Amino acid sequence: MSIANPYDSFLAGQDPLPILAATPAKLASLAEAIGSGLITVSPVPGKWSPRDILCHLADCEIAFSFRLRQTLAEDAHIIQPFDQDHWARPYSALGATEALATFIALRTWNLRLFQASLPASAAKPVSHPERGSMTFLTIVETMAGHDLNHLAQLERLAVSRSA
């Protein structure tokens, strides 16, 4: 596993762009399969519900959006980490539908950024205080691996709830 990309094992060498482009439709399908009656139900105490995962993905897309743009705009940018558990505190008051819509809108915008920036900016350096040196492309790959991780979680929840 790459320290710079903690989701490298999920990506397993795949091209990140098709994964990133396919995620919105997969999330919408999984949310529908889980259903509105179970979307807010945690699989076990202390674990995120499907709604919480969708909220987390929307929040992460906000963070990734900023990181990507700061990396392109600044030399030697240092990424600001965030505590996902602290960000998750309001999730119980937020809606899955709104989270999904937010994610889809931001992802669509980020995909346009990738089209405009890659491959020319792939090697643009950036630093993460906990993960060290990385590049613009490392952020893109991290996003794709992160997607795959949470898609797998939602797929397991969808299957377990349809059984």
DSSP string, 43-89: SSTTS--HHHHHHHHHHHHHHHHHHHHHHHHSTTEE-----HHHHTG
| Mean pLDDT computed over 17-33 | 98
| pLDDT value at residue 92 | 95
Separation of alpha carbons 114 and 38, rounded Å: 35
| pLDDT value at residue 117 | 97
| Mean pLDDT computed over 94-100 | 97
Residue carrying the six token digits 């709830």: 161
- Structure confidence by residue, pLDDT tens digits, 32-86: 999 999 999 999 998 999 999 999 999 999 999 999 999 999 999 999 999 999 9
Q: What structural domains and CATH numbers belong to the chain?
A: 23-37+54-162 (1.20.120.450)
| pLDDT value at residue 3 | 78
Q: Which residues pair with 30 in a beta bridge?
A: none
| pLDDT value at residue 2 | 63
- Structure confidence by residue, pLDDT tens digits, 107-147: 999 999 999 999 999 999 999 999 999 999 999 999 999 99
| pLDDT value at residue 4 | 83
| Mean pLDDT computed over 3-26 | 94
| Mean pLDDT computed over 83-104 | 97
Q: How many residues does the chain have?
A: 163
163 pLDDT higher than 70: no
162 pLDDT higher than 70: no
